[in-house]
Homo-oligomer: A and B are copies of this chain.
Amino acid sequence: MPERATSSEKTREALIRAGLRLFGEKGFDGTSTREIAAAAGTNIASIAYHFRGKEGLQLACAEFITTAMGGVAYHAMGNLAGNPELSSREEARALLVKGVEMIVQFIAGRPEAAEIVQFVLRELMHPSPALDHIYSGLFEPVHVRLCQLWAAATGEPADSDEVKLTVFSLIGQVVYFRIAEAAIMRRMGWSETGSDQTRDIARTVIANLNAILDARMRSAR
């Protein structure tokens, strides 16, 4: 692991970043290797050299996403793999709210996230071998962790269908604001999706989360 990036590594990373952006924007089939090479400031042959071809680059992009997002998810929700121990329901609920808030900030707020979210969504809609990496490296661990937090906050079993589906519905809300951004901006009369808009979205999603949690707590009595 050299500290200074070699020329080879720079080209490799530039190709991944270009692939991520273009695959996310226009899809795998909609993007030509010529475009990717041009965006990365290199030549077409380097894609075959570094990744064995266009599909190899797609896979490398998926690996990049799981690595990069793992760090974000860790910050948002604590250890993904272990320690489901939480001292109190209140603490778990606070962590859940904070986690969802950070997910909104990332998915709906950060412009760089658009390409990542779109890349993942395209994989979900039209699975390729790259989806396996994303599922086991990102999708499942994040979902499991959110279910743990939900269970700790409500007392419901973390592996019940009810909890799992509710957590999916939470994620779905957030993701939709990024997918349908074009239409939502038009309907809301927004000219951009800046920090004001992200705040409004976060407020809506958190209000929903609290409403659903409260309803569950009441019905559990």
Contact = CB atoms under 8 A, between A and B. Distances in A.
Interface string A2-27: 00000000000000000000000111
Contacts of A208: 166, 169, 208, 212
A76 interface: no
A186 B140 CA distance: 9
A192 interface: no
Interface string A100-124: 0000000000000000001001101
Contacts of A168: 176-177, 180, 184, 204
A121 B183 CA distance: 11
Contacts of A188: 161, 164-165
Contact of A126 (B26, B166, B175): B26
User: How many A residues are at the interface, by size bracket?
Assistant: 35 or more
Interface string A135-176: 100011001000000000000000001101110110111111
A103 to B, nearest CB: 13
Consensus secondary structure, chain A interface = helix
Interface in A165-221: 165-166, 168-169, 171-177, 179-184, 186-188, 200-201, 204-205, 207-208, 210-212, 214-216
Given A169-B208, A172-B173, A208-B208, A25 B126 contact: yes
A82 interface: no
Contacts of A164: 187-188
A179 B124 contact: yes
A96 interface: no
Given A143-B187, A200-B165, A208-B208, A126 B177 contact: no
A127 interface: yes
A177 B187 contact: no
A169 B180 contact: no
Interface of A: 25-30, 118, 121-122, 124-127, 131, 135, 139-140, 143, 161-162, 164-166, 168-169, 171-177, 179-184, 186-188, 200-201, 204-205, 207-208, 210-212, 214-216
